[in-house]
């Protein structure tokens, strides 16, 4: 059961935080009159914060060093971005969770006993329950926004974007509870999914930068075009000839990660003009780090 426990905790460390922040971004986007939507978003924010806190308590010595070193759990900017975002929005964020995540380490000699398995199973079920609720909430928000009955500062595409990520997370938990492991899609479909996510990040960044940030807007637009091209190629390629395309995707994502790192530092240092919350900048950086780990693992497996 070590694989079940390890994969469950690694999945929650990454996606549990992502869902917590999705809830916060939705919460921050609603006008004050939308009390019901505000309350629902805040409820999910609290639920995923509690789930992430429990994950961190269980994860020390269990999760792999590769995940901890990837920058997908936390980055050098996460804690500062959380403090700034809390100050800007008035939404409380438990930064102690981030401090504890920074102290996590990997130890292969930790025993996986029945109590640990039981705790992880309970965590999976709780996160799945919260996730089903959040997916339903996101669908409600998207429906009301596209029918022009709800205002939010989030693009409709961004709501679709975070809905896709939530559904991927849900499928991973369902796989873990069904078979004890994650049934990963083939690399082609993985690249299709994450290339679309990366492309949309670039489109959001482009649209949220101040119009005076001409150079950054142009660079974001270039990445959007690059991932659009990679997405089209991946859809057209046969699975057996994906090697060259994966290498290209890896190289593009490395460059994109550097762009996001510089952007996150610029936003947290107040040197970039935008309407991007500091935590949103860090959020998309962590997702790029996560994708890089997947691509690096795939490349190593082929060598």
- Give the DSSP letter of residue 62: T
Q: Is the pLDDT of residue 243 over 80?
A: no
Single residue among 182, 202, 225 that ends a domain in this structure: 182
The tokens of 168 are what?
């991927």
Question: Within this chain, do residues 199 and 230 fall inside the same structural domain, yes or no?
Answer: yes
Contact 68, 106 (CB under 8 A): yes
pLDDT at 72: 98
Provide the number of structural domains found in the chain: 2
CA torsion, points 109, 113, 117, 122, in degrees to nearest 10?
A: -120
Single residue among 137, 158, 182 that ends a domain in this structure: 182
Per-residue pLDDT tens digits for 14-59: 999 999 999 999 999 999 999 999 999 999 999 999 999 999 999 9
Question: Within this chain, do residues 151 and 197 fall inside the same structural domain, yes or no?
Answer: no
Cα–Cα distance measured from residue 48 to residue 133, given in angstroms and rounded to the nearest whole number: 11
- What's the domain range around 82? 1-182
Question: Within this chain, do residues 175 and 200 fall inside the same structural domain, yes or no?
Answer: no
pTM for the whole thing?
0.96
Question: Within this chain, do residues 28 and 82 fall inside the same structural domain, yes or no?
Answer: yes
User: Residue 234 — pLDDT band, cuts 50, 70, 90?
Assistant: confident
Per-residue pLDDT tens digits for 100-146: 999 999 977 778 899 999 999 999 999 999 999 999 999 999 999 99
Cα–Cα distance measured from residue 88 to residue 279, given in angstroms and rounded to the nearest whole number: 11
More confidently predicted of 107 and 273:
273
Cα–Cα distance measured from residue 45 to residue 277, given in angstroms and rounded to the nearest whole number: 16
Question: Within this chain, do residues 203 and 260 fall inside the same structural domain, yes or no?
Answer: yes
Q: Is the pLDDT of residue 156 over 70?
A: yes
Per-residue pLDDT tens digits for 187-221: 888 999 999 999 999 999 999 999 999 999 999 99
Contact 195, 231 (CB under 8 A): yes
Single residue among 130, 149, 182 that ends a domain in this structure: 182
Task: Share the mean pLDDT of the chain.
Answer: 94
pLDDT at 290: 98
Question: Within this chain, do residues 214 and 272 fall inside the same structural domain, yes or no?
Answer: yes
Q: What CATH number is associated with residue 208? A: 1.20.1260.120
Question: Within this chain, do residues 236 and 104 fall inside the same structural domain, yes or no?
Answer: no
Question: Within this chain, do residues 152 and 18 fall inside the same structural domain, yes or no?
Answer: yes
| Positive/negative CA dihedral, 40, 283, 52, 80 | negative
Question: Within this chain, do residues 1 and 83 fall inside the same structural domain, yes or no?
Answer: yes
Question: Within this chain, do residues 159 and 133 fall inside the same structural domain, yes or no?
Answer: yes
Q: Is the pLDDT of residue 241 over 70?
A: no
Question: Within this chain, do residues 130 and 226 fall inside the same structural domain, yes or no?
Answer: no
Distance of CA 28 to the CA centre of its chain: 18
């Amino acid at each position: 059961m070590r694989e079940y426990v390890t994969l469950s905790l690694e999945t929650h460390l990454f996606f549990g935080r992502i869902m917590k922040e999705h809830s916060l971004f939705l919460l921050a986007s609603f006008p004050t009159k939308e009390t019901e939507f505000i309350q629902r978003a805040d409820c999910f924010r609290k639920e995923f914060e509690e789930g992430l806190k429990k994950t961190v308590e269980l994860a020390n010595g269990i999760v792999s060093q590769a995940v901890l070193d990837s920058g997908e759990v936390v980055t050098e900017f996460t804690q500062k971005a959380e403090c700034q975002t809390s100050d800007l929005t008035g939404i409380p964020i438990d930064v102690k969770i981030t401090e504890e995540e920074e102290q996590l380490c990997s130890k292969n000699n930790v025993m996986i006993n029945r109590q640990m398995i039981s705790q992880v199973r309970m965590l999976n079920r709780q996160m799945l329950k919260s996730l089903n609720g959040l997916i339903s909430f996101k669908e409600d928000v998207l429906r009301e926004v596209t029918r022009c009955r709800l205002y939010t500062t989030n693009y409709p595409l961004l709501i679709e974007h975070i809905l896709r990520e939530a559904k991927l997370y849900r499928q991973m938990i369902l796989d873990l509870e069904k078979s004890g492991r994650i049934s990963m899609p083939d690399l082609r479909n993985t690249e299709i999914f994450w290339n679309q996510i990366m492309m949309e990040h670039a489109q959001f960044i482009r649209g949220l930068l101040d119009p005076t940030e001409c150079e950054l807007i142009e660079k974001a637009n270039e990445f959007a075009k690059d991932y659009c091209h990679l997405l089209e190629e991946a859809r057209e390629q046969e699975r057996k000839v994906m090697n060259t395309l994966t290498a290209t995707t890896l190289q593009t994502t490395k460059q994109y990660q550097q762009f996001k790192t510089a952007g996150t530092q610029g936003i947290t240092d107040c040197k970039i003009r935008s309407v991007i919350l500091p935590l949103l900048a860090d959020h998309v950086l962590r997702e790029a780090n996560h994708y890089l780990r997947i691509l690096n693992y795939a490349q190593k497996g082929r060598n």
